[in-house]
Structure 1
């Protein structure tokens, strides 16, 4: 790429020197115009359990952003990040201890611990010994997943926004658009869903939409007349949203210089893609903080439990935070349903599509779509990054 090469070489050297000691630290810088580092590249997942970050590794800017969006003090934000990191490490062993009685899990912000739902009281001691709290429920996660799979086979009308397994409710949550809940087609879908399994009907403010945009300024990438945002660097390119471009489409950077091409893309059904990079562009394990927070280093891709905090970086609205509301949700866009999505309370707007979702220093996914905006609030879904890496055999670029 052809952008302040000398400056960026120095910044890359500084990044390499800093990564041994720092976790959430600046690793790239914006130019005088506010534009940020070039395209990332695509590689495969390192999904090992992550240790709780030390206080010295928590960026003050990240704590400020979490405090702003979640209503926390800086000290409370730091405590929450450490608790969430510990919960991520507990989730896998707790699930193994639960065995066939596993009914799902989530991070409880009140207790600061992971909660695991169980259908068998006899498994409580083993799960609690692994470090999680427990609650007894009627249905296993396997039974709920099977019910959701049956609902996935139904044709959903436009007034149905999405559906996912809710482990706290021990049911499949079906989200309908508030002013469409009385529509005959919506009511018929809900009835068919109830025949497929236990359903909890909820309302949402708007129908979901994708967040691609026409050509506008900022620090994006472009394909045709569409502007989207880079997700995460992988070795050889970057991952992003599938609705941003089809396989073989040329990709251009913020300065309209050629970056590479879409090597794989899927939408609807999925919403993921990867772009190979060349022509002087290179990849770094960084998520842009846009001056709101320092640029964030990416150290892995351990999936955050439901209830955890998560932040998003995109080329339109830049840096915003919220919490994970649901995993494995099916989202009913106008173009068709997209499966295995993660729902968050983070806002987004057109042009943010494809951008990074990160929890602490762990990559989570690429922005797909949602409803609302960053003035009045809303919800946004991301396609989990580990699914993308596994699908294309990529390796995540980590610090």
Structure 2
């Protein structure tokens, strides 16, 4: 897309609108700066972005004794589940800088139980993920799972044995969210742009939800507008929910940032794996900015369109139109792409995201823009972020807002199908929806989803912003 079409100001494209002002206030620079204890051995305080690295290292070293790990946000420590009471293993965990915790189930046993569920209880409207905090599988059934299907699910869970899994009913229905964010439009559907990337051939591109990529081949940054990008790869359903969409204009400049509105954006500097217990932010044009915590990993979700595996489960809310939008951390780490879920941002619910690290590996893309792009957060936005101070409430919208952008997009469901509605609904709505609310992002922004509004990402923004939940 030409420079004219995507002003540098808007090229910051990220994923959505900003609705929750309170969440934005949490995105303060260096709030989670990592620290190192004076002692070489024993629990170390770490920022959430480093938690998954330590957990992965210990998982390799502990083998069958490893029962999963999670991040204790209050203490900024990594808690590692150790099967049994092996003091030598516990000492090894302490020496590595984590906190050992004795549990009954190994991660291998929990994954085996998940395979049993996949074989015997793949029922539309169900989902499960490993929850290291309870050392069990978290099994969820939406409101459509009743009668014989409910009985089949509960009996299968019971066959796994005591203490292996818990079943919970969700009031909503699992669906993808095709609408929202710094919106992108294609084939009657609306989605959000997740993160700008550089494809393996060096061309500018962006990542969004796979169910958006299979819903339409070409995407525009304005409703009924001329296409600006074409789907190169798309996976959905199956081993993920992600798509790589290349800008039609090879000279497109799109920053590696998430646009949170009001001329503010959060610079995205790396891709990172999620850790259970870490705080994350989601940005979407329908619901704006929302925050929450990662509650499960390697989640399997049985959408009406098919089963998707390898997702991140969170308690961040999302609604139609948020599909494809970005999930990130306050320190600028790209974590996920909104896939789907149940509930909404009024009553809450479960939301699922495609891990960004997996999508990058599968597509061969690299996070960030190519030549000429990605240098700042766009229009000086990101910089604003750095200026805010923890004690300054105002920082909550503009600056902080940025980083937060990661809201709820997790919603599950129909994103793809949802089509233009929800998100589109936004037009001015969404943004307007948030009006100024959405972290200010709203106002012009979100709506921009529809035109210039969406967080300024508007029309031109689509530039990669495309975050709608689709």
Mapped partners of 1:6, 1:66: distance in 2 = 28
1:121-200 matched pairs, under 5 angstroms: 121=86, 122-158=88-124, 160-177=125-142, 183-196=147-160, 198-200=164-166
- Specify the alignment match of 1:113 in structure 2: 77
The structure 1 residue matched to 2:197, chosen from 225, 230, 234, is: 234
Whether contact under 8 Å (1:326, 1:344) holds in the other structure is yes
Displacement of 1:313 after TM fit? 1.5
Residues 54-109 of structure 1 show CA distances to partners (whole Å, capped at 9, x for unaligned) of xxxxxxx9x974476xxx7979x925886324534533333344333111001123
Q: Deviations over 1:174-232 (max 9, x none)?
A: 1123x56763321222212332452222232222111014xx9x741111111101111
Going from structure 1 to structure 2, the CA distance change for 1:239 and 1:249 (only over 3 Å counts) comes to same
Aligned partner of residue 367 in structure 2, secondary structure? coil
Secondary structure at the counterpart of residue 128 of structure 1: helix
Structure-2 residue corresponding to 1:253: 221
SS of 2:322's partner is coil
**Counterpart Cα distance in 1 of 2:7 and 2:196:** 20
Change (3 A) 1:248 1:368: closer
Structure 1 regions of 5+ residues with no counterpart? Answer: 9-28, 31-35, 41-60
Figure out how many residues of one structure are paired with residues of the other and give that number.
344
Cα distance in 2 between the residues matched to 1:39 and 1:2 = 18
Shift of 1:124: 0.7
Measure, in 1, the Cα distance between the counterparts of 2:256 and 2:299: 28
Match of 2:54 in 1: 90
The answer on 1:353 being equivalent to 2:316 is: no
Question: Could you tell me how far apart the structure 2 residues matched to 1:89 and 1:265 are?
Answer: 28
Q: How much is the aligned-residue C-alpha RMSD, in angstroms? A: 3.1
Q: Give the unaligned 5+ runs of structure 2.
A: 35-45, 375-470
Partner SS, residue 268 of structure 1: coil
User: Which position in structure 1 is the counterpart of 2:31?
Assistant: 78
Residue aligning to 1:366: 337
State the match for 1:262 in structure 2.
231
User: Is 1:273 matched with 2:243?
Assistant: yes
Return the alpha-carbon distance in structure 2 between the equivalents of residues 317 and 307 of structure 1. 23
- What TM-score do you get using the length of structure 2 for normalisation? 0.66
Larger proportion of strand: 1
Q: 1:110 to 1:229 in 2, by over 3 A?
A: same
- Superposed displacement of residue 3, structure 1: 6.3
TM-score, with length taken from structure 1: 0.77
Counterpart secondary structure, 1:281? coil
More relative contact order, 1 or 2 (CA 8 Å, 6+ apart) = 2
- Preserved CA contact (<8 Å) 2:175 2:304: yes
SS at 1:324's partner residue? strand
Aligned equivalents of 1:323 and 1:294: distance in 2? 23
Contact 2:13 2:196 in 1 (8 A): no
Say which of 280, 291, 294 aligns to 1:324. Answer: 294
* 1:380 is the counterpart of 2:354: no
Q: 2:171 aligns with which of 187, 193, 205?
A: 205
Query: Which among 268, 286, 299 is matched to residue 269 of structure 2?
Result: 299
- Structure 2 vs 1, CA of residues 373 and 64 (structure 1 numbering), >3 Å: closer, same or farther? closer
